[in-house]
Structure 1
Amino acid sequence: MRLLVAFEEEYRAYQGAISSAIQVLRPGVEVEATGADALKEGLDRFAPQAVICSRPEGPDPDGRVAWIELPPEPDRTAVARLGDHRFELDNPSLETVLEVVDRAELLFRSDAKSPLT
């Protein structure tokens, strides 16, 4: 599974920490980081199945199985989408983010094995 991590320039260290942690702790996930200003280009070029971003998901998920809107401010609620399910996460820890990534990968793998209709 490909995962794109995108944050604004002022949160570059936060973006780097999340990207590095996922690369180390989930070596089967291909991770790429980009600035939020280059989000569209990253989505088009990398074609990720999952996204962790400081911005909300647009109206067209374009085949992505998951999107985690992870605001860098701890007092803002994170919003995650896995398939058709949306849920909120209050100040999620790295462990919680990894759980969502794991569930996204399972969903991606099950979709990839489904016969085309």
Structure 2
Amino acid sequence: MAQILVVDDSSTVRNEVGGFLQGHGLSVAYAVDGRDGLTQLKADSGVKLVICDVNMPNMDGLTMAEKVRSELGNLKVGIIMLTTENSPAMKERGKAAGIKGWIVKPFNGPAVIGSVKKLVE
């Protein structure tokens, strides 16, 4: 059972983010796109936080977040977007989907680890 699900189509980003979090004592699972992330969330009800890219093939991160809320009815899992996207329209869509935070790449683990730990406690 993972505490955090890292969803990104870039294996480099997945490994960087996941490795940093594991180094801070957190259990991490990985998904390659939104569709894979949704499947994993269905299978593992123990995930407390999703760190997710926006632009991915098969299913983007915002659509995945919307489906987590609507199809899975999961209102408890925290979702943070980790992306190069920073447009107000995307942030509004994310807010409507219950996104807890918006981190602009590149990932700066030391700057966010405190907040991440609070979200999984």
Short-chain TM bin: 0.5 to 0.7
Q: Which has the higher contact order (CA 8 A, sep 6+)?
A: 2
Identity %: 13
Picking from 86, 93, 97, the partner of 1:77 is 86
Q: What is the TM-score normalised by the length of structure 1?
A: 0.65
| 8 Å CA contact retained: 1:49, 1:63 | no
The structure-2 alpha-carbon separation of the partners of 1:102 and 1:40, relative to structure 1 and needing over 3 Å to count, comes to same
Q: What is the TM-score normalised by the length of structure 2?
A: 0.64
Picking from 58, 66, 90, the partner of 1:58 is 66
Q: Answer with 1 or 2: which has the greater Rg.
A: 1
Q: What is the RMSD of the two structures over their aligned residues, measured on CA atoms?
A: 2.9
| 8 Å CA contact retained: 1:52, 1:68 | yes
Consecutive unaligned residues of structure 2, counting only runs of 5 or more, are 54-60
Q: State yes or no: 1:98 paired with 2:110.
A: no
Q: State yes or no: 1:35 paired with 2:32.
A: yes
Letter in 2 for 1:58: E
Bigger fraction of residues in strand: 1
User: Which residue does the alignment assign to 1:2?
Assistant: 3
